[in-house]
Chains A and B, each alone.
Chain A
Amino acid sequence: DAGVIQSPRHEVTEMGQEVTLRCKPISGHDYLFWYRQTMMRGLELLIYFNNNVPIDDSGMPEDRFSAKMPNASFSTLKIQPSEPRDSAVYFCASRAPRQGENTIYFGEGSWLTVV
């Protein structure tokens, strides 16, 4: 089975540019999570969806960040405009319908550098 697929794997962009990160969750999973990882703050939950509906976006740092999930197999995280402090690894993860255990499957991450 294919795991969580993220693109791009690496992106270098200039400050002020728009960045769009993409994610395809594991088929059949109905939860999708976006995390950000930095050395200073560790792994932070930005937003998560259930059945394509955003449930909690309290971790989204600013209005410059937005996320969508138009269907069960695709989600985007957009940063506009990007700033150097947005440089981080962004992980998408998904989870199967809740059955008592809450194991999350991660993609390989999108490494973002804003210069």
Chain B
Amino acid sequence: SQQGEEDPQALSIQEGENATMNCSYKTSINNLQWYRQNSGRGLVHLILIRSNEREKHSGRLRVTLDTSKKSSSLLITASRAADTASYFCATDKGYSTLTFGKGTMLLVSP
């Protein structure tokens, strides 16, 4: 069953704008991760935030985690056409596997 649910399902913006994607989940987690999938490719790990962290930055990426609301957001600042991809959140509940959401498709137009 899906643990994380991303919102929106699709997002279309112009280059230079910021893109925000949200993820909600249902049960307690150890950490939450975001992955990126370019068209026709495999998923690539972007960033991980632990359950005791509230915010984390990596380059143009900013991730927040609110464990009381069981939600996370991924912000991509100053987006580029090359950021066009699907973005997935994945939750780690302390077992050996990750559970992925269905993803947000991001289109960045030049």
Residues of A at under 8 Å CB distance from B? Answer: 4, 31, 33, 35, 42-43, 45, 48, 50, 55-56, 91, 93, 95, 98, 101-109
Contacts and interface: CB of A to CB of B under 8 A. Distances in A.
A102 B33 CA distance: 9
A56 B43 contact: no
Contacts of B28: none
B96 A50 contact: yes
Given A42-B103, A43-B88, A108 B96 contact: no
B25 interface: no
Interface residues of B, number: 21
Given A43-B88, A107-B42, A109-B41, A102 B98 contact: yes
A93 B88 CA distance: 15
A55 B96 contact: yes
B42 A109 contact: yes
B2 interface: yes
Given A50-B96, A102-B30, 8 more contacts: A42-B101, A45-B99, A102-B33, A102-B96, A102-B97, A103-B48, A108-B42, A109-B42
B54 interface: no
B45 A105 contact: yes
Nearest to B33: A103
A95 B96 CA distance: 9
Contacts of A31: 96
A91 B43 CA distance: 9
B102 interface: yes
